[in-house]
Structure 1
Amino acid sequence: MPSPNAPDLPAFAALEAEIRALALAVTVPELHGGLCGWLAGGGAASPEWPGNVLADAGLPAVKAGSALDELGQASAAQLADRSFEFELLLPDADASLSERSGALFDWCRGFLGGFGLAAGATPALSEDSSEALADLARLAAAQPQDDGDEEDEEALVELEEFVRVAALLLHGDCVMAAQHRQRFN
């Protein structure tokens, strides 16, 4: 759960409906991952974020109060919130292991794309962040598992937590550290 300081993410179904209405060729997790990567890499949390994240200048700005607007605002607030209560927007736990693992890998693919667009080819990263980015790339290339047992379920939960912390670490290096440096100059 996000802290009282950070807003909740919008409903998965509401985002799916907006994505369909705009005829975007992305899943909800991939779009959220792309947005979070964009923000973690230093991209602006503006109403034009979908066009920036999807590298399509023809996309309209999000409408105030829409699910995409809520997604942008909540994601930016959660990443910046010092309570580290950032959430990944993924299917609920009652979805199949295949669906949930596929969504996590989609989220990672989106994150890498958005991060690369915002941070550029050679961002100044700590050793830990560089390793985290490489691990996210490996997850982005992974394929979902059809079925699994309790160990596979536990492994997926651990991967989700790793991805969440990796996104916060990268945001810390690219955004939070830069903001702190500006305060001291």
Structure 2
Amino acid sequence: MELPDLSVIDAESRQLALAATPFELHGALCGWLAGGGPSVREWPAKVLADDALPTPAPGSPLDELRLASAAQLSDRSFDFSLLLPESDASLAERSGALFEWCRGFLGGFGLSAGSRPSLSEEGSEALGDLAKLAAAQAQSDGDEEDEEALVEIEEFVRVAVLLLHGDCVLAAQHRQKLN
């Protein structure tokens, strides 16, 4: 399943007065899901920890974002993608969005997985690395090497999220099947 277009996510999040960028919002949703949180229509209230937030309408861009993200995380083909600016955006815009995405992820993950999730050694290391990225600042300009590094960091984040989802959700499902 494809993620909805960034512009429609931005428009709906503004309409619902959500206090997060589309990048942070998607990161929080993915963190929530990767930590074991349920895929529910009222996800903005859950991932932004504000019960007063409205629930997206069925079939709306934010509802489609939830469905696509949950499907991508559960798909065994590893076809998971981050909601980020297009590759023709500036390095500053793309790196800033990635760091916002990571900040959102950590918040959503913490809300659903709790303070001491059961993680593999690799999962613990990945979570620590995501925390370092969340604390990073956008780079204002750069060269081709910086562009390549950003692509590698995006791929690392994508794989780290899948690893954490595997630790918290898939491993728990596997344990349930064994019992």
**TMscore range, shorter length:** over 0.9
What's the secondary structure of 1:62's corresponding residue?
Answer: coil
**Which of 68, 79, 82 is equivalent to 1:85?**
79
What's the secondary structure of 1:174's corresponding residue?
Answer: helix
Please give the per-residue CA displacement for 1:60-96, whole angstroms capped at 9, x wherever unaligned. Answer: 2221010000000000000000000100000000100
The reply to whether residue 75 of structure 1 matches residue 69 of structure 2 is yes
Q: Deviation of residue 9 (structure 1)?
A: 0.4
Name the counterpart of 1:94. Answer: 88
Query: Among the aligned pairs, what percent are the same residue?
Result: 72
The separation in 2 between residues aligned to 1:105 and 1:38, in whole angstroms, is: 17
The separation in 2 between residues aligned to 1:53 and 1:110, in whole angstroms, is: 9
Name the counterpart of 1:65. Answer: 59
The reply to whether residue 181 of structure 1 matches residue 138 of structure 2 is no
**Which of 93, 97, 100 is equivalent to 1:103?**
97
The separation in 2 between residues aligned to 1:155 and 1:130, in whole angstroms, is: 23
Name the counterpart of 1:55. Answer: 49
Contact residue 16 and residue 54 of structure 2 kept, 8 A: no
Name the counterpart of 1:155. Answer: 149
Moved over 2 A (4+): none
Give the TM-score normalised by structure 1.
Answer: 0.96
- Residue 30 of structure 2 aligns to which amino acid in structure 1? C
Name the counterpart of 1:4. Answer: none
The reply to whether residue 145 of structure 1 matches residue 139 of structure 2 is yes
**Which of 6, 22, 26 is equivalent to 1:32?**
26
Give the superposed CA RMSD: 0.5
Name the counterpart of 1:10. Answer: 4
Please give the per-residue CA displacement for 1:93-118, whole angstroms capped at 9, x wherever unaligned. Answer: 01000000000000000000000000
Q: Deviation of residue 42 (structure 1)?
A: 0.3
Runs of 5+ unmatched residues, structure 1: 1-6
Please give the per-residue CA displacement for 1:127-168, whole angstroms capped at 9, x wherever unaligned. Answer: 000000000000000000100000000000000000000000
Please give the per-residue CA displacement for 1:25-70, whole angstroms capped at 9, x wherever unaligned. Answer: 2111100000000000000100011100000001122210100000
The separation in 2 between residues aligned to 1:79 and 1:41, in whole angstroms, is: 11
Name the counterpart of 2:164. Answer: 170
